[in-house]
Structure 1
Amino acid sequence: MPPSYPKFYLLPSSREYKCDDRFSLHPTGGQVEDENGQVPFWPVLRQVLSQPVNSTAGLIDILDTISVTLRGTSKPAGDYELLLEEITSLSCNIFFEKIWPRLVTVALEMPVLFPDDQLPVLGQNRASNHLRFSRRQVACLAVHQFLRTLSVPSWRDDDGTHDFGIWYSSQQRQPSAVRAYLRALMLYFSEVVCEDEQIDIGVEDWAVDYTLHFLPERYDEIIAEDRPLAELKVVVVEKYDTSPASLGVDTNRQAVVLSSNKIVGFGQSATQEEVHVGISPEACPIVLVTPPLGKEQILKVRGAQAMVNIIGKGRDITVETGMPFREGSQTAWKQRTMLFMDALELDLVDGGGLTDLGTENMARETAKAYTAFSSSLDGSMSEIRTGLWGCGAFGGDPEVKMLLLWLAASTAGVKLMVVCEDELQTFAQRLQDVVHMMQQTVCGTVFLRNLLQEIPKGLSRGETLEWLKKGAQRASQTSEAQGGAA
C-alpha cells in the first residue's frame, strides 16, 4: 500500500490554523482561546503586519515575531545576515518604500485568493493530479514563504525547507548559492509582485501549473509496440547555465529535465534541482502540495519565471543578475516547462558490476522517464532537454542513463537533447556516434530495449556504449545475412 497523506494543506488564513498568542497580539485575547490555550493565527498576523516597517531592524522584529509566535523559535533564520545583505544591496529605500508595502498587501489577500483556506494536495489519486494558480495566487504563497507563516507539510522533515528562512542566516554550506536565491527572490518581488501588469495577468493568459503525472495504465502495451528511434542531439557547452535558452524558454515547446529528489523542492546548495527551483520563486510552493514522488510519478511545473542566470555547477557557480532576453520575449516564460524526475540513488546500492544495468533498475528508470516524456502528448512540448540525469550525486552511469532516456523519448515520440559540459566532449562524441549508427539501421524501440537487456551485467562504468555499438553491428549483420539468404 502506498503511504497516505492529507488531502489538503491548511493555510494560515484558516480559523483552524492556531498559535500560542505569546505576545498578546490577538485583538480579542483570551476570549477565543481553545482548550489548548491557542488562538486563530490570522488575526495575530494582521496585527503584526499593521505595524510600520521602515528599517532592517523593524523587518527582523516582524519576522521574529511571526516565527516565535508559530514555533517558539526563529531558527533556522538565525542572524538574518544574508537576507539583510541582499536587501541592502538592492537598496533599503526600494525595499521599504516599494516592496514591503506590496508584500503586506498580497499576503493579506490570502482569504480572497484562497477562499477555502486550504490547498489540495497532489496525488491522492489519478484524478487529483493538477493545480492551476494565477500569478497573484502563487505570489501570495511565495510571500508567505518569505514571511515564514506556513506550517511544515506532514511528509517533510522539520528542517525549514518548506519556506525561505533557510536562506536568511550567515551560516550556510554554500553562501554563493543562497545569495543567488535571495537575489532571485528580491528581483521577483520587485519586478513581478510589485508590477500590476505582471501580477494581475489573468489565469487564462498566464497560469502557473503544478501537475503530477502517473505512469499510464497501458504502459506494458505501449512498450510492446515497436516505434522508430527518436532524434537525439548532443550539445556541448562551456558551462551549464540557467539562461532562457537553457531553460527551454527561447525555443519552441522545449521541456527541461531536473534530477530531483523524491521530496521535491529547494535547498541551501547548488544541485540542479535546488538551482532551478531556487531561482524561480513561482516554483517554490511545490513543497507545500507535492508529497514524495512515487516510483511511477513525476511532477511537471509550467509557467514559473526564473529571475537570475546561474553559470556553472556545484561550488563553482557565478550569478548573472537578471535574464538576457530578446525584445518582446518576456511572456515566453509562461511556456517554460520543468520535469521533476527522481532517479535511483545508486551510490547507496551495494553489489558487483554496474548497478545501472540491473533489470529492475533499468525498467524503473525507463518508466520514470516515459512518464515525464509522455506528458508531451498534450501538445505542450516537442523536445526534451536534459543534462546527465541521475548521475553525479545519484551515482548513475551517464552512458546507461542517456540510453534509457533515449528509449523513453522514442517510446513517447519526442525529440531528446542531451547537454554536456566541454569536459565531457569524448563522452558526447561517443554517444552521438552510437546514436547515429543505430539510427541508420532499421531498428526501433523493441530492438533497443532488447539490446539493453542483453548488456552483460558485469560491465564497468564507461563500457556500455562500446558494447552496444558492437551488439547493434552484430544484429545488423545477422539481419542482412538472413535477408540475403531469403
Structure 2
Amino acid sequence: MKPTTSATDEYKNIDKSELRCAPDCYRVQLPPLQPSGDHKILFRVPAEGWSDTLVHPYPNTFKDRWDENYVYMPCSNSNIIASQHGPPVSRWKQIEDVLQQGIPGMFELEEAILSYNQHYANRWTFDSLREFFLQPIPLLKQGRRSKLTMSQQQAACLLANAFFCTFPKRNARIKSGTLPDINFSNLYSRSGDPSRKIEKLKCIVNYFERIRNKMPTGILTFTRHVLDEGAAPIWHRCNLNLADLHVSSEGNIEDDGVGMLQADFANKFVGGGVLGHGLVQEEIRFVICPEMILSRLFTPMLKDNEVLFMTGCERFNDYTGYSDSFEYAGDYVDRTQRDAWGRKCTEVVAMDALHFRTSESQFEESKIVRELNKAYCAFQGTEFTSNLPAVCTGNWGCGAFKGDKHLKALIQIMAATMAGRQVCYFTFGDETLQKELVQIHGMLCKNYITVKELYKLISEYSHRVINKKQKYWEANIQTLFEYIANTLGEPLTTRAGSSFEYSADNFESQGSDTSMHYDWEDFKASTP
C-alpha cells in the first residue's frame, strides 16, 4: 500500500457518457419470458413476444387462495363480513354493490368506502376510485429469491383497489410485523402535515387520470434478491482495484441515471412513509412512479441480506422541491425505451440502510460489514451477471438514519467494485462532499489501493473513533477522508467546479492546500 511517485502524474478523466448503461451494455439478450418455480407471471405471455398491445391476465378466471403465502384478495370467497341477523356475507359483493352505484361526490365516496370498512368508521377520513383483479398473488417471502411479473394494466387494477381501501387485513402493518400497509386510508387522513399529503394525492390522481385516458401496455417485474449465507465477499481479502467513479453535486438519480441501476434509499418496509407523512428520497420516487407503491402489497420487510429490484416502473409525474417544499409539478411523459419483455429499461433497487442511535456506532466492524453486504446484494445482477450498467446512487442512509457521508460513499464504491459496476454518485447539492470525494477516489486510485486495503484504512479509522472519549465529529477529530489523505501522505483540498470524474485506472493531480475540519452538520444529508 505504498504511494506512487508524485502528485504530478497525469491520469485521464472519465466522463458520464463513458458509464455503462442498459440496454446497450449487455452483450446478450434477455431469455424468453416464462414462469418458473421462483418467477410468477400474472398474464399470458404472447407467443410472438412483447408488442405495444394489452396482454391478457392468466388464468382467465379467478383462482382463490386465502393463506399466508398469498396476498389476501378483496374478491376472495373467504373475505366475509359477520352478520348479526344471519350467515356471513361476502365483503366483495358488498364492495361491488357500493362501487357500481353512482358516486356523485367526495362525501358519497367516503360513505361508500366506510360501508365495507365499518370497523374504521371513526378513524378514517379520505376520497376516491375502484376496480378489481383476477388471480391470487404470491408474497415475495423473506429468505427466498422470487420474482413477480405483471402487466401495467394489472398493476393499475391493484392500485385502484388500494385507493379504495379494499384489501383485507392490510389497513395497518399486519400482526406479524412483516408487511406494510397498502390501503390508502392513512394518506387520506389529516394526521401530520396535510400539505404533504395533498401534493402526493395530486401525483396519485394524475396517475389514475393518465391510465383512464390510455391504459399503458408495458410489463413490470418485482424481484426479491437474497444474498445467501457464505456468498458475501470476505472484505479484508478482496484484491480488486476500485471501480470507476463519476461524482457530481448537480443532478439526481431519476433524471440523470437513465439506463443505470438506480438506488432507492429504502426503509426496510419498502416505500417507507409514502402512504403517510414521509416525503424524502424514497417516498418521492414512489409517488412520481406510483406503480412502485404496489411493491408494498406483496413484499414483506427486507432482512439484512435482502433487497427488492423494481424493473419497468413508469414515471408519470414531475415535481419540484424536497420534503416540506415538495410540490407536484405536472404530468411527466416517460420516454425510456423498453426491453424484450416490454419493460421500461428502468431498474430501481430498494436498499435499506441501518438506523444508528449514535453516530459513532456505525464504525463498529459488524455494522460496516452489514452495510457492505447490503450494498453488494443491491448491486449484484439478477437477469444479467456481467457487463452490468453503472449504479446511480448518492448519500445512502445519511439523513435521519445518521450515516456518515464519507463512510457510506466508500462502502458503496467498494460494493460496486465487487459487483462489477461503475459508480455514478450525486451529492445532491453538497459541493464540499463532491470535491472531497473526487480527491479521495483519485488518491486511492493513484496509489492503487484495493478493496481490502481500503477496508483496512476504514478499520484503522474506526478503531480510533470507537476508542475516542469525545464525539468523533468534534473539530479536533479527523474525518474519514482526512485520515485517509494523511495516511497516503497527501492533503485534502478543495477546488471550484461542480463535477469531476476519475477512472480507477487514471488520476489527475488536484494540487495542494491545507486540510480542513468540519463539525457534524457537514455530514448530514437530506436522505433516509
Measured against the shorter chain, the TM-score band is 0.7 to 0.9
2:263 is equivalent to residue 233 of structure 1: no
After superposition, residues 189-208 of structure 1 pair within 5 angstroms as 189-196=208-215, 198=216, 201=217, 206-208=218-220
Matched with 1:385 is 392
Helix, strand or coil: the match of 1:292? Answer: coil
Q: Corresponding residue for 1:174?
A: 193
Residue identity opposite 1:67 in structure 2: N
SS of the residue corresponding to residue 310 of structure 1 reads: strand
1:74 matches 2:121 = yes
- Which residue pairs with 2:308 in the alignment? 299
**TM-score under structure 2 length normalisation:** 0.70
Question: 2:137 aligns to what?
Answer: 119
Q: 1:245-394, aligned counterparts within 5 Å? A: 245-246=255-256, 248=257, 251=258, 253-265=259-271, 266=274, 267-323=276-332, 328-329=335-336, 334-346=344-356, 348-349=357-358, 354-375=360-381, 377-378=384-385, 382-394=389-401
Measured against aligned partners, the alpha-carbon deviations of 1:97-143 in whole angstroms (never above 9, x if no partner) come to xxxxxx54xx13x23xx2xxx3211134424x211111111111100
CA distance in 1, matches of 2:449, 2:442: 12
Range with bigger deviation, 283-292 or 152-161: 152-161
Query: 87, 107, 116: which one pairs with 1:57?
Result: 107
The answer to whether the 8 Å contact 2:387/2:420 transfers is: no
Residue 223 (structure 2) aligned to one of 179, 203, 211: 211
The 5-angstrom pairing of residues 390-409 of structure 1 reads 390-409=397-416
SS at match of 2:395: coil
Give the letter for the 2:113 counterpart: L
Rounded to whole Å, the distance in 2 between the matches of 1:21 and 1:120 is 30
In 2: Cα distance, 1:138 partner to 1:74 partner? 28
C-alpha separation in 2, matches of 1:437 and 1:264: 36
Q: Give a deviation string over 1:326-368, Cα, whole Å, max 9, x none.
A: xx5476972222211111111x24xxx8222110010000000
1:247-287 deviations in whole A, cap 9, x for unaligned? x3xx2x21221222212222322122222123322111211
Change (3 A) 1:124 1:420: closer
The one-letter amino acid paired with 1:10 is: Y
Q: Residues 339, 391 of structure 1: CA spacing in aligned structure 2 closer, same or farther, 3 A cutoff?
A: same
d(CA) in 1 for partners of 2:264, 2:487: 31
Partner of 1:12: 74
SS of equivalent to 1:276:
helix
Show CA shifts across 1:134-188 (max 9, x none): 111111110000110112263576999422122223x242333212221111111
Output one character per residue of 1:209-268: Cα deviation in whole Å (capped at 9) or x when no partner.
11111114453456544222111221112xx767x514x3xx2x2122122221222232
Name the SS for the 2:109 alignment partner.
helix
Count residues with an aligned counterpart: 403
Select the structure that is richer in helix.
1
**Cα–Cα, structure 1 residues 324 and 221, in superposed 2: closer, same or farther, change >3 Å?**
closer
Q: Residues of 2 paired with 1:138 and 1:317: CA distance?
A: 26
Kept in 2: contact 1:298–1:340 (CA 8 A): yes
What is the alpha-carbon distance in structure 2 between the residues aligned to residue 161 and residue 75 of structure 1?
A: 19
Contact 2:386 2:420 in 1 (8 A): no
Structure 1: 5+ residue runs without aligned partners?
23-28, 85-102, 475-486
Distance in 1 (CA, whole Å) between partners of 2:410 and 2:193 is 33
| 8 A Cα contact 1:142 1:285, kept in partner | yes
Tell me if structure 2 keeps the 8 A contact 1:216–1:371: no
Alpha-carbon distance, 1:193 to partner: 4.2
Measure, in 1, the Cα distance between the counterparts of 2:81 and 2:445: 63
Normalising by structure 1, we get a TM-score of 0.75
Q: Is residue 183 of structure 2 the alignment partner of residue 163 of structure 1?
A: yes
> Which whole-Å CA distance do the structure 2 matches of 1:314 and 1:67 have between them?
31
User: d(CA) in 1 for partners of 2:392 and 2:122?
Assistant: 38
Aligned partners of 1:379 and 1:158: how far apart in 2? 33
- Partner secondary structure for residue 153 of structure 2: helix
Q: Which has the higher contact order (CA 8 A, sep 6+)?
A: 2
Letter in 2 for 1:465: F
SS in 2 for 1:211: strand
Contact 2:279 2:324 in 1 (8 A): yes
Over 3 Å counting, the alpha-carbon distance change for 1:385 and 1:473 in structure 2 is: same
SS of residue matched to 2:264:
strand
Cα distance in 1 for partners of 2:291, 2:137 equals 16
Q: 1:166 to 1:159 in 2, by over 3 A?
A: farther
Query: Percentage identity across aligned positions?
Result: 23
Question: For the residues of structure 2 that align with 1:241 and 1:75, how far apart are their CA atoms?
Answer: 42
Q: Quote the Cα distance in structure 1 between the aligned partners of 2:337 and 2:203.
A: 16
